[in-house]
Amino acid sequence: MFAESMQQRDELHRAIWAIADNLRGSIDGWDFKNYVLGTMFYRYLSERFATFIEKNEHDTGNTDFRYADISDEEATSMGDDNIADVINTIGFFMKPSELFCNVCKRAAKDVNLNMTLEHIFNNIEESSKGTKSEMCFKDLFADFDVNSSRLGASVAKRNERLVKLLQGISDMKLGTINDQNIDAFGDAYEYLMTMYASGAGKSGGEFYTPQEVSELLTRLGTVGKKHVNKVYDPACGSGSLLLKVQKLFGDDSIKNGYFGQEINVTTYNLCRINMFLHGVDYDRFNIACDDTLTNPQHLNDAPFELIVSNPPYSIKWVGDDNTLMINDPRYSPAGVLAPKSKADMAFIMHVLSCLAPNGVAAIVCFPGIMYRGGAEKKIRKYLIDNNFIDTIIQLPGNLFFGTSIATCIMVMKKCKTDNSILFIDASKECIKVTNNNKLTSENLDNIVKMFTERQDIDHVCRLVPYDSVKKEGYNLSVSTYVEPEDTKEKVDIIKLNDEIKKIVAREQVLRYEIDKIIAEIGGGGVSYESIRRVAEAVLPEWRGMEANYIVM
């Protein structure tokens, strides 16, 4: 079964690459992801809707029923109440003619294909208006611009590429919605994100956290837990962290779903699509689009038992330019705001304010916040004095797209049973993959084991009491407390001194012989015997080798 799944996954990845390669040059690769993902999402919604309707029909004994084969009139004849029930259950409604499979059949001959798709996307979004699912579908296809000049200079050119796109996604072996052998839609999404993030430089890392780092955060946050009330990411990007919790911890273990906020509209749309493609129903996630630091959307949903996040590093924010910000209950306990040029500590204070008393927060951090002075030091002092810092983990460099910085993980708790902080140097827990480093399963196991056992290990981890951290000026750099192993070759001083004596002695012999040769030169020439004596004095192995040399 595993081999079969891996084969399916490989075939899926090749198909995705073929689509990108087929349209390469017509659309910039980074923008093209919106079209590939949008089309994949359209197929997913179509199959999700048709499967739902067909299951209900099959349960009543109509086993030959196929939603794609009936007319739009027949589909809407079920009545407004029944349609409302369907929307209430899965969040949207689609007519048979709007299904992906039916549009694909007509695509090559549809001279208005771009308008057909725009109309369908609008209908999907409109069907959710005024319902509980409205915010999950609102403007969801905004980045799928079927009239963009990036698709082609003319309508005919745009439609030609849309046909290729539809056909490419149609040919992808994504199985059925209920197929559990491979999470095909979700896996295809992850592959696309990785493919485009790796080629997008710095911007790639702003919305996508590598899967192994996501796994580490999840495992750190769920040690000893069987379930949590809800999961939160205040800078959720495309949702990879939230969905890693779903995959590793189990959807049934998350009682009340997934919450996130993202400031970038395009990435916000990607996150919602990601949720759907991973099988998270609309009533199980709440993703908002706004600035978390100045306009948080989930304070009424707090507290959260699990918070995982990889917020943007050292971005600018309003800070004390807004005189009311210091009165915000999220920031006021520290008595100071994070610097305007570096919002890292603002995210940390926000996370702390949303954390449940029995909760755990695992956050990827820029290393500078662990040692810089000024306002950041004052915030560290508040966090340490109040015993909120549980563990600091130094990660290897080159883990993230677009940066070689060796980041850290800060684990926070409000329910610590001691006043010590665990420092782990995991900078060597990785393998080299092309130009980047990667955390293997063994690396992850080692880090989680050290985190769980909280024991001192020379040159790797150390449990440091509060007073020692205070004595170090509230510095949280791992290198301050974990001494690196000296890997340099040790020098034997006595042996080295003996070697020096021998060299000096040989130098004296050489000088003596050279002086004698110079004296002989003054007496009329240099003899072969003189040369031999010097050579043997400097190079004893010369003896017996004279015959190999010709003396002129």
pLDDT in tens, 457-511: 999 999 999 999 999 999 999 999 999 876 666 667 788 788 888 887 777 777 7
Give the whole-angstrom CA distance, residue 166 versus residue 152: 16
Residue 203 has pLDDT above 60, yes or no: no
pLDDT at 535: 56
Q: Is the pLDDT of residue 229 over 50?
A: yes
Q: Measured between alpha carbons, how far is 430 from 126 in angstroms, rounded to an integer?
A: 48
The SS3 of residue 304 is: strand
**Secondary structure class of 550 (helix, strand, coil):** coil
What's the mean pLDDT in 35-54? 91
- Residue 123's pLDDT is what? 96
pLDDT of residue 33: 73
Q: Which of 43-52, 153-162, 200-209, 514-523 has the lowest mean pLDDT?
A: 200-209
Could you give the angle at the alpha carbon of 287 between the alpha carbons of 282 and 289, nearest 5°? Answer: 140
Q: Dig out the tokens for 413 from the structure.
A: 């708790």
Taking the domains of the chain in order of start, what are their residue ranges? 2-199, 203-481, 493-548
- Give the pLDDT band (50/70/90) at residue 176: low
Are the CB atoms for 310 and 220 separated by under 8 Å? no
| pLDDT interval class at 186 (50, 70, 90) | low
Structure-model confidence comparison of residues 31 and 511, the more confident one: 511
Q: How far apart are CA 393 and CA 414, in angstroms?
A: 18
Return the number of other C-beta atoms located less than 10 Å from residue 301's C-beta.
17
3-state secondary structure string, 263-301? Answer: CCHHHHHHHHHHHHHCCCCHHHEEEEECCCCCCCCCHHH
Classify residue 325 by its DSSP letter.
G
pLDDT at 197 over 70: no
pLDDT reported for residue 29: 53
pLDDT average, residue stretch 449-458:
96
The residue with tokens 């994949």 is 40
Q: Can you read off the two tokens belonging to residue 50?
A: 């048709």
Give the CATH architecture of domain 2-199. Answer: Up-down Bundle (1.20)
**Mean pLDDT rounded to a whole number for the chain:** 85
Report the alpha-carbon distance of residue 132 to residue 30 in Å, rounded.
33
- The pLDDT value recorded for residue 19 is 76
State the CB neighbour count (10 A cutoff) for residue 212.
17
Note the pLDDT of residue 204: 42
pLDDT of residue 2: 41
Specify burial of residue 530 (Cβ count, 10 A radius: 0-12, 13-18, 19+). Answer: middle
Distance CA 275, CA 242 (A): 9
| 140 phi and psi angles, rounded to 5 deg | -65, -25
147 contacts: CB under 8 Å, gap ≥ 6: 114, 118, 158
Specify the pLDDT at position 545: 46
So what's the pLDDT on residue 493?
78
Please tell me the predicted confidence (pLDDT) of residue 433: 79
Using the structure block, give the residue that is written with the tokens 């069987």.
226
Provide the residue count of the chain. Answer: 552
Under 8 Å between Cβ of 185 and 48: no
Nearest to 243 by CA among 282, 285, 206, 289: 285
Phi, then psi, of 284 in degrees rounded to 5:
-110, 0
Degrees (nearest 5) of the Cα angle 228, 447, 232? 30
Pick 331 or 31 by higher pLDDT.
331
More confident residue, 36 or 286: 286
Across 329-338, 358-367, 515-524, least confident range = 515-524
With a CB cutoff of 8 Å and minimum separation 6, the contacts of 499 are none
Q: What is the per-residue pLDDT for 31?
A: 63
pLDDT in tens, 267-278: 899 899 989 988
Percent of the chain residues topping a pLDDT of 90:
58
The model's confidence at residue 525, banded by pLDDT at 50, 70 and 90, is low
pLDDT for 53:
94
* pLDDT > 70 fraction of the chain, expressed in percent and rounded: 82
pLDDT at residue 16, rounded to an integer: 73
Which residues make beta-bridge pairs with 413?
360
203-481 has which CATH code?
A: 3.40.50.150
Q: Is the pLDDT of residue 179 over 60?
A: no
Q: Mean pLDDT across the stretch 345-368? A: 97
- CA torsion sign for 268, 269, 272, 273 is negative
Q: So what's the pLDDT on residue 180?
A: 40
Mean pLDDT to the nearest integer, 231-258: 93
Q: Which segment of 23-37, 234-248, 352-366 scores lowest on mean pLDDT?
A: 23-37
The single-letter DSSP state of residue 228 is B
Please, which pLDDT band fits residue 382 given cuts at 50, 70 and 90? very high
Which residue, 474, 464, 473, is CA-closest to 419? 464
Q: Residue 552: its pLDDT value, please?
A: 38
pLDDT category, 440, cuts 50, 70, 90? very high
The vertex-449 CA angle with 447 and 454, nearest 5°, equals: 100
Adjacent-strand bridge partners of 389 = 412
Per-residue pLDDT averaged across 410-433, rounded?
A: 93
Over range 122-144, report the average pLDDT. 94
Q: What are the structure tokens assigned to 326, written together?
A: 């210091």
pLDDT at position 206 is 46
Work out the angle at residue 315's Cα, subtended by the Cα atoms of residues 313 and 319, and round it to the nearest 5 degrees. 130
Q: DSSP states of 145-209 as a string?
A: -TT-TTT-SSHHHHHHHHHHHHHHHHHS----TT--S--HHHHHHHHHHHHHHHTSTHHHHTT--
- Give the Cα separation of 322 and 221 in Å (integer): 34
- For the entire predicted model, the pTM comes to 0.82
Write down the pLDDT at residue 62. 84
What's the farthest any 2 CA atoms get from each other in the chain?
Answer: 127
* Maximum average pLDDT range among 37-46, 292-301, 394-403, 479-488: 292-301
Residue type, position 190, single letter:
E
